[in-house]
Structure 1
Amino acid sequence: MVKLISLDLDGTLLDPQGQITPASKAAIALARAAEIRVVLNTGRPIPEACFFARQAGCDDLVSALGGAALADSSTGQVLQRQDLPQNTGRRVLELCLGRRIELMIFAGEEIVLDPFSKESLLRTYPYPVFHNNAVVVEDPLAYLEEHRLPLTKVHGDWNQPAYPLEELRALDGLELTSSNDHDFEVVPAGVDKGVALAQLAQRYGVPLDQCAAVGDSDNDLAMLQAAGVPIAMGNASQSVKDLALRVVADNGQDGVAAAILNCLDPKLSPSL
Structure 2
Amino acid sequence: MTPPPFPARLPLLLAFDLDGTLIRDGGTELPDMTAQALARLRGLGVNFAIVTGRDTPPRSVREGVRPDAVATNNGGRVEVGGELLAQAEFSLEDLQAVLAHELEGARLVLFTPETLYVDLPAGVGPEPWMLARGYRPLAEAPQEGIVKAGFYHPEVAALARRLRQSHPHLVLTGAQNPYPHFLTVTPTGAHKAAALVQIAEALGIPMENVVAFGDSDNDEVMLEVAGYAVQVGTLPLLARHADHQLPGHEALGEYLNGIAAALEGK
TM-score of the pair, normalised by structure 1: 0.81
Q: Tell me the equivalent position of 2:4.
A: none
2:39: which partner in 1? 29
Whether contact under 8 Å (2:215, 2:234) holds in the other structure is yes
Which residue is equivalent to 2:172? 176
- Counterpart of 1:189 in 2: which secondary structure? coil
TM superposition shift of 1:80: 1.9
1:81-107 deviations in Å (ceiling 9; x for gaps): 0112210111101216x6222323113
Q: Which residue type is aligned with residue 189 of structure 1?
A: T
Contact 1:113 1:134 in 2 (8 A): no
State the 1:222 CA deviation: 0.8
Gap runs ≥5 in structure 2:
1-7
In the aligned structure 2, how far is the partner of 1:83 from the partner of 1:117? 29
Q: Corresponding residue for 1:270? A: none
By how many angstroms is 1:119 displaced? 4.4
Stretches of 4+ moved more than 4 A in 1? 117-121
Distance in 1, matches of 2:87 and 2:222, equals 18
Q: Indicate if the aligned counterparts of 1:9 and 1:40 stay in contact, CA closer than 8 A.
A: yes
Q: 1:100 aligns with which of 94, 105, 124?
A: 105
Deviation at 1:34, TM superposition (A): 1.0
Structure 2 CA distance, aligned partners of 1:191 and 1:27?
Answer: 30
Matched, 1:263 2:262: no
Tell me how far apart the structure 2 counterparts of residues 243 and 153 of structure 1 sit (CA, whole Å): 26
Show CA shifts across 1:210-238 (max 9, x none): 010110011101111111110011x2311
| Aligned residue in 2 for 1:222 | 221
Bigger share in helix: 1
Considering only aligned residues, what root-mean-square deviation do their CA atoms show, in Å? 2.7
Q: CA deviation at 1:42?
A: 0.1
Find the residue that maps to 1:170 and give its secondary structure.
Answer: helix
Change (3 A) 1:42 1:33: same
* Length, aligned pairs only: 249
Q: Counterparts in 2 of 1:31-180, with a 5 A limit?
A: 31-45=41-55, 48-49=56-57, 51-71=59-79, 78-95=84-101, 99-116=104-121, 119-122=124-127, 126-127=128-129, 131-137=131-137, 140=138, 142-144=139-141, 147-160=142-155, 163-172=158-167, 173-178=169-174, 180=178
Cα distance between partner residues in 1 of 2:122 and 2:70: 26
Give TM-score, length-normalised by structure 2.
0.82
**2:91, 2:122 → 1: CA distance?**
24
- Percent identity of equivalent pairs: 22
Can you give the 5+ residue segments of structure 1 that lack an aligned partner in the other structure?
A: 268-272
Q: Distance in 2 between matches of 1:263 and 1:157?
A: 38
- CA shift for structure 1 position 73: 7.8
